[in-house]
Structure 1
């Protein structure tokens, strides 16, 4: 996971891979926040970022509505 907006002080990635429990804290690397995470294969992974306490999507990454109509970032693992 990569969040490329340097103005943040704390960034988490959360989604279907951790039952939306905000368990993955990204580490500041230069001007970005990054974290490598082992994910299940063969699944569609919905995720969002929590940046300084605010839930958001990365507009530079693919988005899609889930089965509840919520728009999230998504990738196929």
Structure 2
């Protein structure tokens, strides 16, 4: 619906994976003083740059400025605005609608659907490691036998 309701309670990590080492990458959108202010993205190694900001519920359009060029990510959902510009789009606070519509998907590998790339929290890393250990044990259980 495009409304931006309430206080900015959702931490959103925006990721640009097409950067070059030492390149300036910035995030802009309708949440940055209506496209006027720029948020500097932090270089995380290789081609990865990130900017984490807090947003209210609502639908937002955004782009990245990489090396002085305004660009959108082709691996994240996009929409064309009323001026014909292709922008990335995110709906905050509505988990079911964050996934791109089938018409927006440009999937190279049909088994992969990327929603929003972000770093795992400490709890998520712990749960993932715990699940991996349980799965590994289920596949190859340890059998103890008495010494002879």
Q: Higher helix proportion, which one?
A: 2
Question: 2:88 & 2:53 partners in 1: Cα distance?
Answer: 16
Structure label with greater radius of gyration = 2
Say which structure, 1 or 2, has more relative contact order (CA 8 Å, 6+ apart): 1
Query: Within the alignment, does 1:67 sit opposite 2:82 as a pair?
Result: yes
Question: Matches of residues 32-47 of structure 1 in structure 2 within 5 Å?
Answer: 32-41=48-57, 43-47=58-62
- The one of 4, 13, 29 aligned to 1:15: 29
| Aligned-partner SS, 1:7 | coil
TM-score by length of 2: 0.48
Q: CA deviation at 1:70?
A: 1.9
Q: How does 1:39-58 map to 2 (within 5 A)?
A: 39-41=55-57, 43-58=58-73
Q: Check the 8 A contact 1:10/1:51 in 2, yes or no.
A: yes
Aligned partners of 2:55, 2:39: CA distance in 1, in Å? 12
Against the structure 1 CA distance between its residues 50 and 6, is the aligned structure 2 distance closer, same or farther, given a 3 Å change threshold?
closer
Structure 2 residue runs of 5 or longer lacking an equivalent are 1-13, 93-148
- Deviating beyond 4 angstroms after TM superposition, the runs of 4 or more aligned structure 1 residues are none
Q: Distance between the aligned counterparts of 1:65 and 1:16, measured in 2? A: 14
Number of aligned residues: 76
- Which structure 1 residue ranges, 5 or more long, are not aligned? none
